[in-house]
Structures are given as C-alpha cells and as structure tokens.
Amino acid sequence: MLIDDRTDLSNGVPYTPSALLQLYNTAMAPAATRNILLLKGIYQSGAGNNYNGMYYDRLKDEATDAVVTLIVPALVRKELAPGKTVEFYGYITKRVVTAGGRIEIHANITQLVAQTQNRYNEKEVRALAIQQEKVNRGYRDVDSAVKASIVRGERLRVMILVGRAAIIDSDILHAMEEAVGFYDLRFERIGMSSEAEIMDALDRHDHPETTDLLVLSRGGGENLDVFDSPVIAERCVNLQPLLLTAIGHKENIPLVQRVADKAFITPTALGQWLNAIYNDSIADIEHSKAKLVEGMTQQFKATYEKQVETLQQRIRDIEEMAGKNQGLLERTRELAEGYRLQAQRLDAEAGKARVMKWVIRLAVAVAAGVLGWFLGRH
C-alpha cells in the first residue's frame, strides 16, 4: 500500500460512519453556534409533537425554498401563526443524523420579536413561479399557427372542454357563424369545478397528433377558484397543444388564464375569434392570389414587350443588312461581267494562238520537205 506524509493512520484504528459524523460535528463549530442571533423567516408548523416542551417546526426563507428546522418552546409556539413572517432572537445548533449520514442545522427560538402577515402566501409564491416559467418558455403565437393551417387547407382540430350542464357550446357555435364548418370542432363535458377532472381531461388531450387547440371554456358564476389552482396552471404550462381559455371572470384574471397562450373573457368571444380569424385568413389568401395574378400579369407583359422590341430590332438589322447586301450584289454582278468579258478575250487570244501554232507546224513541215528534196538532188 502506498501512502504519503499526509496520510493519517490514526494508530491503525479505522473510523466508523458514526465516528466520522461526530468528528465533523465537533470540527464545524462556527461563531454563529455560540452567539445569539436575530433571525427572520416564514413560520411553518410541523407535526405538532411535544418533545420535552419543544416543538420541531420549520423556518422558510421569504424569497427562496430554503428551509431549516425551527425548535420552538411550547409557550412561544402558542403565539405563532403558520404562514406569517416571524422575527426572533435565537441561536444555532447542529444535530448529527447517523441514519442519513448528514448534519442538520437547527434554529432555536429564545425570544419572539415580531410577527407579521407574510406579503405572499405559499400559493401566491408558487403562482408567481409558474407565471415566470411560462414567461421563460414564451407565449406561443396562436394567431399565426391558426392562419398557417388555414392557408395550407388543413382543418384545425379544436377540443373545447366545457361543464357538464353548460350551454356555452351553443354560444360558441352561434358566434362562429359560417366558419363553423371549416374546423374539426369537438366538445367534451367534464366537471369544470373539479381539479381532478380538469387534470384528467388535460392529460387525455395532451397529444399534438390529435389536437391542435385545447380550450378551457366556462361562463361566469361561482366556483371559479379552481382556475387559480397552481396544480392546473403548472400542467397547462407543460401542454403540447396550444392552450386557449374562455372563462367568464370579469373581476379577476385566474392563474390558468394568465398562463394560456391566448385568453378570451367569454366563450362567445372565443367563437367570434374563430370566425374572424378564418375570414381574415381567407381574405389574406384571396388578396395574395390577386397580388400573384397581378404580379404575373405584369411580368408577362414586360416579357412580351421585351420580345416585341427584340423582334423589331432584328427586323431593322435584317433590313440594314439587306441594303448592304444589295450594293454588294450589284458590285458582284459588275465583277462577274468583267470576268466574263476577260474570259472572252482570253478565249479569242487562245484561238489565235492555236491557229498560229498550226501555221508554224505547217511551215516547218514544208521547209523540211523542201530541204529534203534539195539534199536529195545534190
């Protein structure tokens, strides 16, 4: 076994897990564990078990999820109210948890200084966190997505969740007018006051291959608190289909409506929007077609005019060339006539030369005959 000079053999006695925890518990003794401190946080009650006059509750940070165990004397605990912000004097202790292999930090109350209503309760803090998550993910552009589907000639698949006894489906259909036939529109009736039923319905329709728009729709009235549920709102943030809400709640905007990709104040307003966006999309398509036809007409006209201009220029070039060729033709004719006359002269001269050649040949023959005769006599 190789070791260096930093190895502590501890006289050959091995440490057990319990001994290690006790060793670090003794070593970790900051000044805060020896002094009285002014502490502050949100009080949360624990199981309520009394351990020798002490209760083990919790102290939560106001701005984060950090929590420490709060040891509260029985007399002080009577004065505390869960969810309120408390300020107190106390000290810090540590406890070794051998089963978990950890060291816990405990805050011990010695004197309560103040107790005030917390600015945000736990539900509100969670609601703010959910809204921030939606902002981070981004609100999807429902209008553009719907228009794109209509332009492609696709029937948008719309699932609208309504209450079991609701009549708002007829309001939506009436507001859609003639556009109703251009959507694959489905209604499902559920208990719109039940968090469990709403969650089940969201789970069933969280499938983009079957649903493009998922709508939570309900008219006004009572029992709308369910739409402030952080549980439902968090599920809505994670939906794959585009989420729309049409909840008749004029006084307050429910949390679910604040995290929807598009929200309407009434179910009727939803139907009116479905009608309007379809008609607008069709108008845009017709306008685009008209612009396309106009553009193509202008392009064809420009091409035709260019072709006509090119042909006219070619005609002018041919006429100019023809004029030049006419002069060249006359000159060629003159040259040909000159060549013909010269050829005639040459032929005449060639005839004369042939006659002279035969005369010379005859003269030579006669001379040869005379010379032969003469020589024969002598």
CATH top-level class of 124-282: alpha beta
pLDDT top residue among 96 and 24: 96
What are the structure tokens assigned to 327, written together? 């002069």
What are the structure tokens assigned to 108, written together? 């011990």
Query: Max alpha carbon distance in the chain (Å)?
Result: 193
pLDDT band at 116; cut points 50, 70, 90: confident
Round to whole Å and give the CA distance between 156 and 176: 14
- Kindly report the pTM of this predicted structure: 0.51
Kind plus residue range of the DSSP H or E element containing 163: strand 156-163
DSSP string, 7-66: ---GGGPPPPHHHHHHHHHHH---GGGTS-EEEEEEEE-----EETTEEEEEEE-SSSS-
For residue range 23-42, what is the model confidence (pLDDT) as tens digits?
666 665 555 566 888 999 88
pLDDT band at 73; cut points 50, 70, 90: very high
- pLDDT value at 144 more than 60: yes
Kind plus residue range of the DSSP H or E element containing 68: strand 67-73
Q: CB–CB of 255/130 below 8 Å?
A: yes
What are the structure tokens assigned to 354, written together? 């042939």
Question: What's the average model confidence in pLDDT over 286-310?
Answer: 72
For residue range 346-364, what is the model confidence (pLDDT) as tens digits?
777 777 777 777 777 777 7
pLDDT given at position 264: 92
Domain chopping of the chain, boundaries: 10-119, 124-282
Instruction: Give the other-Cβ count within 10 Å of 244's Cβ.
Output: 22
Question: What's the average model confidence in pLDDT over 260-278?
Answer: 92
Round to whole Å and give the CA distance between 262 and 264: 7
Query: Does the 10-119 domain belong in CATH 2.40.50.140?
Result: yes
- Mean pLDDT of all residues belonging to the chain: 82
Q: Give just the sign of the alpha carbon dihedral 64, 70, 75, 78.
A: positive
